[in-house]
Structure 1
Amino acid sequence: VWASLEEAARMKTEGNAFYKDKNIRSAIGRYHRALLVLRGLDPDVMVSVKGLGPEMPALSPEQEASLRSTQGDCYNNLAACLLQRPSVDYCRVRDYSLRVLQWRPGDVKALYRAGVATLEMGDAHSAKRYLTRACREQPNDANVRKHLQRVEEKLSQDLQREKAMYRGMFSSSMKSGSEEEINQTHRGGEGVLAEQLNAPNEASN
């Protein structure tokens, strides 16, 4: 078990070196390989495949802590790598960040990236929740504050659009109601005129 944990940690370190050298593709490859090694040790994964092969011995608290630490780092770093790509898969950035938050609820980097990803995916309300938590953890972080401001602007724009839409619907409803009243009045006038035209002429003296 320790040998596998050390192998995964080594791959993560290699991935970090590639990331620093801007070799994003190789970094992603190393992080995925590290996670693949850890997958065979993860008690959450092994429970789902129990009975399909030889059972792994239960991890000690120290081993499980090492496993979660390396997993969290790899998923965090994968999200960072994806944000460096020309075409960003924001859905995967969000998913990787949320996995980190399962184990580290207050992780500022994961909160920040989850916020950025959900904002780009159009969910400003969730983005505000993540970025507000990140800002609470690191109130002086310029990037967090910048994207939190973007969220507030997006929510304000959405609110203005919503108000304009309702105003348009209300105006349209009022207009159609007025037209109906005019039509009814017009029809009523036609009826009176018709009665007058069809009435028999009274004999004149």
Structure 2
Amino acid sequence: MERKGLAARASGNPSPPALGEGPRPGPPPCVPSGGGAPERGQAGAAAEPAELIRRAHEFKSQGAQCYKDKKFREAIGKYHRALLELKGLLPPPGERERDARPASPAGIPKASRLSEEQSKTVEAIEIDCYNSLAACLLQAELVNYERVKEYCLKVLKKEGENFKALYRAGVAFYHLGDYDKALYYLKEARTRQPSVRVRIHALKIIRRARWANEGLKKSSSSKPCGVHLQPQVPGEQRQEYHLTAGVPD
């Protein structure tokens, strides 16, 4: 009987289950090929950190190509996919200094399993993705400056001297009406950029932010509560500025 069972398995016909075993599970269903990495809920949760990092880098590269092709919505999707691949590889910022953490559930990569080189690679990809997401949003006809600010601050938490994040944060705060923070971030960016063109553009925004800040202070002292004046830069009347034009990619 044993020989017959072996012959059946060799010929591709599995032998029937032994008494008391119950039916055996069939093969997993085929996953249609989508031209990209599998969904994180399927293979992503059990993948090794090196594979997750590889896929994240691939999505980031695809996003960069979409950005070059001016397909900004597609680029945003690619950058989000890259960040999704990295989710869980690094602990939250408040826990990165803790050595003792509870063991991860089976199949989920634990941050402590990352080598030092892998940790640096993950952070570099995260920084690039958040910076690139901010750049994509700034290309929109109606810019979501709140989201631009959010992405830039994520970068600056990891890399406080990142020029692009400082610059874009300054532009975002300017458009959100927080001129004190706009001045701070733009001044910080200006000191870290050797490019004359970008420095000149930063100075222009700083000048406008100063005038706007002074205008707000004057309006708050001369107008009743709840009434706001639109700050105006002298000599420029009602001209509107597209301050994102000079923001570096």
Matched ranges for 1:111-150 at <5 A: 111-150=166-205
**For residues 22 and 67 of structure 1, what CA distance do their matches in structure 2 show?**
26
| 2:109 corresponds to 1:56 | yes
**For residues 217 and 180 of structure 2, what CA distance do their matches in structure 1 show?**
15
Identity %: 38
| 2:160 corresponds to 1:105 | yes
SS at match of 1:138: coil
Query: Residue 67 of structure 2 corresponds to which residue in structure 1?
Result: 19
**For residues 216 and 146 of structure 2, what CA distance do their matches in structure 1 show?**
26
Does the Cα contact within 8 Å between 1:135 and 1:141 map onto a contact in 2? no
**For residues 77 and 216 of structure 2, what CA distance do their matches in structure 1 show?**
43
- The CA deviation at 1:141 is 4.3
Does the Cα contact within 8 Å between 2:169 and 2:182 map onto a contact in 1? yes
Query: Residue 40 of structure 1 corresponds to which residue in structure 2?
Result: 88
Highest CA radius of gyration, 1 or 2? 1
The C-alpha deviation readout for 1:57-106, integer Å capped at 9, x for no partner, is 31211111010000000000000000011111001101101111111111
**For residues 100 and 39 of structure 1, what CA distance do their matches in structure 2 show?**
16
**For residues 141 and 151 of structure 1, what CA distance do their matches in structure 2 show?**
15
Query: Residue 27 of structure 2 corresponds to which residue in structure 1?
Result: none
- The CA deviation at 1:35 is 0.2
| 2:129 corresponds to 1:74 | yes
- The CA deviation at 1:164 is 6.4
**For residues 216 and 56 of structure 2, what CA distance do their matches in structure 1 show?**
49
- The CA deviation at 1:41 is 1.1
Task: Indicate how the Cα distance of structure 1 residues 56 and 127 shifts in structure 2: closer, same or farther if over 3 A, else same.
Answer: same
SS at match of 2:211: helix
Once the two structures are overlaid, the 10-residue window that deviates more, 34-43 or 158-167, is: 158-167
Does the Cα contact within 8 Å between 2:186 and 2:202 map onto a contact in 1? yes
Task: Indicate how the Cα distance of structure 1 residues 53 and 115 shifts in structure 2: closer, same or farther if over 3 A, else same.
Answer: same
**For residues 103 and 84 of structure 2, what CA distance do their matches in structure 1 show?**
20
Query: Residue 31 of structure 1 corresponds to which residue in structure 2?
Result: 79
Does the Cα contact within 8 Å between 1:128 and 1:148 map onto a contact in 2? no
- Give the letter for the 2:133 counterpart: L
Structure 2 alignment gaps of length 5 or more: 1-48, 96-100, 225-249
- The CA deviation at 1:151 is 3.0
**For residues 104 and 115 of structure 2, what CA distance do their matches in structure 1 show?**
23
Q: CA RMSD in A?
A: 2.7
SS at match of 1:158: helix
**For residues 129 and 52 of structure 1, what CA distance do their matches in structure 2 show?**
41
Does the Cα contact within 8 Å between 1:100 and 1:110 map onto a contact in 2? yes
Structure 1 alignment gaps of length 5 or more: 170-205
SS at match of 1:126: helix
* TM-score normalised by the chain length of structure 2: 0.61
Task: Indicate how the Cα distance of structure 1 residues 69 and 164 shifts in structure 2: closer, same or farther if over 3 A, else same.
Answer: closer
